Amino acid sequence: MSLYLKYRPRTIDELDLASVRKTLEQIVTANKVAHAYLLTGPRGAGKTSAARVLARIVNCEKNRNKLGEPCNECSACKSILNGSAVDFIEIDAASNRGIDDIRELKEKIRLAPSQLSYKVYIIDEVHMLTTEAFNALLKTLEEPPKHAIFALCTTETHKVPETIKSRCVPIQFGKASENEMKRSLSRVVAGEEKKISEEALSYLAKAVDGSFRDGVKALEIALTTTMEVDLGRMEEVVVGVAGFSAKPLAHALADKDADLALQVFRKAVLTGVNLGYLLVETMKALRDLLMEGKEVTLTKLIFALDEVASKSGTSAVPELLVEMVIIDWCGVVPKPSNFGEKNKDPKPTKIVPQSPKPEKKMAAVSHDEVWQKLLKGLNGDSLTLGALLSKATPAQISGDILTIKVGYAFHKEQIMTEKILGKLEKLLSEAMGREMKVKCEVAEAAAKMPAPSDTIDEAMAIFNS
């Protein structure tokens, strides 16, 4: 069993957030239970854990006359804890979001509990329900059976209809403070009869951004290899390496020093720094510089890095996207003339007709005649296009179609996006003096072409020459 499940709060006192503990204590003191609660807050904050505690509070056999902490020893508490209670139902609205699912719930909820005092329904990610399902749920909340209690959990309360919200008692979960996080993590360490240094505990409490779930998962990894976790070990688990700081990269970006920024970034990636963590910490460091008045326009860079962070999980080469942002931000300008010289064919091949139709001519493309004109047309305005073209090889012209080849599908996808392709075809048409179209293919001998990680090295060589 994972430590997160093993040390899931079982009582009010073990709940992680002080504000939530206070709310449940008020429910116990009032000795009165509402028919519906709406638990809202960020992921990993303990919403479902609190809902489970509430379910045991109202069903604990020792609480029949007066509400109090669940004993976790009676048959009712144990059945909820081990998941065998038929009157305790957890529904994931992300996968059970339709009206048929809620209709089935409405039919069953009318029946009296078979074992417990109350039927308790926890609907997680309730904002995922369809409009029709919400309408069906509303009717149940308007006339709820006395034996039923709902605990609706969501990370996106703004997506829950006001008609639903108005019929629920709200329980707000905020981001955990450092002290609340340390309290929770210390409970896990003590339970495992191990130790953690104060520096490592504080570091982890800050690194997981208020998510108890993420904190315990990271702690579990660290505890598997040692009896006492120090700061270095905790950094290795969270970041990938010990002693990493995003400040040097942030300062290089603030100074728009492309060479230094790329050097620091590549070193971090090569040494194993988690890319997601690197981007988040860099954004935080840039935020700090912004607050210090270092560079007002840093907001643009922060938004650009955030966009890359959101795409990194689906990108074939996420490091390339980061490097493109760095180059674009630092204002490195490509020099088309050098590109033409670098790739100049010493013996340009003359255009030779390949088809009996005069309007359909096949020709080997001269780098100097086409690519130099094309790159000159960039005029330093499109850094991304210049970098992408540095990885492309002109193959042939057939009529008004230029075929270019790249080594990897990633580059093809980038070139064939509507924005990049439109700009490329416009510049090509200007260079050729007639309307042109571009076709991009992945070269069959891709293994002979440079790896994606070499893209920026070549682009930088062009840009800085």
Asked if residue 130 and residue 36 are part of one domain, the reply reads yes
> How much is the pLDDT for 372?
66
> How much is the pLDDT for 296?
59
> How much is the pLDDT for 196?
93
Asked if residue 311 and residue 190 are part of one domain, the reply reads no
Specify if 79 maps to a domain.
yes
> How much is the pLDDT for 21?
94
Asked if residue 429 and residue 316 are part of one domain, the reply reads no
Asked if residue 216 and residue 185 are part of one domain, the reply reads yes
Note the Cα 398 to chain centre separation in Å: 44
Specify if 17 maps to a domain.
yes
> How much is the pLDDT for 124?
92
Helix 298-311 crosses helix 318-330 at what angle (to 10 degrees)? 170
- In contact, 80 and 59? CB cutoff 8 Å: yes
Q: What is the CATH number of the domain that holds 193?
A: 1.10.8.60
Look at residue 229 and give its three-state secondary structure: strand
Half-sphere exposure of 205 (CA within 13 A, CB side): 19
Q: 251: buried, middle or exposed (CB in 10 Å: 19+, 13-18, 0-12)?
A: middle
Residue 190's domain comprises 178-238
Asked if residue 364 and residue 323 are part of one domain, the reply reads no
Look at residue 74 and give its three-state secondary structure: coil
- Residue 40 host element (H or E): strand 36-40
Q: What is the mean pLDDT of each run of 10 residues along the chain (465 residues)?
A: 88 93 93 93 90 95 92 95 92 82 83 91 92 89 90 93 94 90 92 92 87 88 88 84 83 88 87 84 87 73 86 77 86 45 44 44 52 62 62 77 77 79 83 83 57 42 37
Domain boundary among 115, 142, 172: 172
Q: Which residues pair with 150 in a beta bridge?
A: 36, 121
Asked if residue 360 and residue 315 are part of one domain, the reply reads no
Q: What is the CATH number of the domain that holds 347?
A: 3.30.300.180
Domain boundary among 304, 330, 356: 330
Specify if 81 maps to a domain.
yes
Q: State the residue for tokens 């460091």.
A: 285
Domain boundary among 330, 352, 367: 330
Asked if residue 437 and residue 340 are part of one domain, the reply reads yes
> Is-above-0.85 flag for pTM?
no
Specify if 34 maps to a domain.
yes
CA distance 258 to 461: 12
CA distance 430 to 424: 10
Distances (CA, A) of 347 to 350, 362, 369: 9, 18, 12
Residue 225, both tokens: 């290899």
Asked if residue 168 and residue 26 are part of one domain, the reply reads yes
Asked if residue 106 and residue 41 are part of one domain, the reply reads yes
- In contact, 20 and 51? CB cutoff 8 Å: no
- In contact, 63 and 51? CB cutoff 8 Å: no
Q: How many domains does the chain have?
A: 4
